[in-house]
Structure 1
Amino acid sequence: MFSLIKPKKCALALLGSAILAFGLYNVHALSGVTEGGVLGMTLFLHHWVGLSPAVTGLVMNAICYLMGWKLLGKEFIAYSIVAGGGFSLFYAIVEQFDPLWPQLADHPLLAAVLGALFVGCGVGLSVRAGGAPGGDDALAMSISKLTHWDIQWAYLISDLVVLALSATYIDLSRLGCSLLTVILSGQIIGLVQRVGRREDTPVKAGAAVEEQL
C-alpha cells in the first residue's frame, strides 16, 4: 500500500496537517467555537445519551475511514495515515508552547473566521494530496465521491446536520459562530483543492488521489 504513495504528496499532506494542528490549538481550543462533523456528534451524544466521546469518536472515525477505503481505495488510506499521524505529531509539538493568541477567547467572531482559515487551508492541502486527517474529512470525501458534488458542499451538508442537532443544547450565539466557521472552512477547502487545476478537470474527492501534483 505504501509503495503507491509519492513523497511530494506526503509532504503536502504533512504541511496541511501542521497548519490544521496549529489552528486547532491556537484558535479553536481557546475560543469555544467548534466544527460540526464527528466532533460535534460526539458532544451531542455525550450530552443527551451520556456516551463517552472517547468511544463514540473512535467508532465514528473508524466507520468514516472504512467508507473512504471502500470508495476511494488503498492510496486514500495510505495518505490518510500520513495526514492523521502528522496531525497527532504536530499537535503534540504545538501544545508544548503557550497559545499565541489567548485573547481570542473573548472574540468568538474573530476566532470563527481565523479558525476557518487554518482548518480550510490545512484540511484542503491534505485532501488535495489524497488523504483525510480526520474522520470528518473522510466522510466528506466519500459523500463527494458518491454524489459527485464538489467537496465543499459535502462538508457543508454534513456539518449543518450536526449543528442542527447541536442547537438542542448549545447557546445560539456560540452556535452562530460555529455555523460561520463551518461555512467558511468548507468553501476554503474546496478552493484549496481546486486552485491551479485545469478548469475542464472535475474537482471531486477522488480526483486528488489519481492526479499528479
Structure 2
Amino acid sequence: MAIATFGLTNIHRRVDITEGGVLGMVLLLDHHFGIPPWALTTVLDAACYLLGWKVLGRDFLIRSGVATLCGAIFFRLWDATGPLLPNLSAQPLLAALLGGAFVGVGVGMVVRQGGSSGGDDALALVIAQKTGWRLSRAYLFTDLTVLGLSLTYIAPLRIVWSLVTVTVSSLLIDFVKTVGHSENRQKA
C-alpha cells in the first residue's frame, strides 16, 4: 500500500484527478444528493467487502483488512512528510500516467497476495471471478461506468485524465497480479 498511497497523495490529490469505482461513486452521490463521503465510503466499502467475503472467502477479508489498515498508516505517513514530487498540475497527462502507475503497481501487489485495498478491488475481483473476465476488464467496467456518470458534474477534460489513469492502473493491477501465473492466460 505504500506505493499506491504515495501516488494518490503526491500526484492524484494534488492534480485533482478523480477516480472511478467506489471513490468516484462516493463523490458522485455526494455531489448530487449531499450524502457525506464518510458515510457513503463506509457503506459502499462494507457492501463490497461483504460481497468479496461471500464470493472470495475469509482469507480475502483478513488480507483486505490488513491492506486497508496499512493504507491508512501510509496515507498518514505521506501526509506528514509533505509533497515528495513536484506538482504536476501543468502536466496532467504525465500526472495521469504516473499516478496510474503508482496505483496499479501498489494495488496489484495487494491483489496478488489475495487481498484488496478497498471496495473497488473487492468488486472487481468478484466481477472477474463470476464473469471470467480479465481483472483489468472488470476494473475498467466499474471505473468507466462511474466516470461516465461523473460527466453530469465534472468537465469532460478532467474526465479524460481520469480515464488515462484508470486505464493504466487497471492494466498494471492485472499485470502485477498475473505475471508468472498461469491465470494470465484468462480470456480478455
TM-score (norm 2): 0.95
TM-score (norm 1): 0.84
CA distance in 1, matches of 2:95, 2:72: 22
1:99-138 residue pairs with structure 2 within 5 A?
Answer: 99-138=83-122
Specify the alignment match of 1:175 in structure 2: 159
Shift of 1:101: 2.4
1:153/1:186 contact within 8 Å kept: yes
Q: Tell me whether 1:86 sits opposite 2:70 in the alignment.
A: yes
1:1-213 residue pairs with structure 2 within 5 A?
Answer: 17-197=1-181, 201-203=182-184
Structure 1 outlier segments of 4+, above 6 Å = none
2:11/2:87 contact within 8 Å kept: no
CA distance in 2, matches of 1:171, 1:97: 32
RMSD: 1.4
* Counterpart code for 2:140: L
Shift of 1:145: 1.3
CA distance in 1, matches of 2:71, 2:41: 16
The count of aligned residue pairs is: 186
- The sequence identity of aligned pairs, in percent, is 48
CA distance in 2, matches of 1:24, 1:43: 16
CA distance in 1, matches of 2:17, 2:61: 29
Q: Name the SS of the counterpart of 2:87 in structure 1.
A: helix
Structure 1 gaps, min length 5: 1-16, 205-213
The structure having more radius of gyration, on CA atoms, is 1
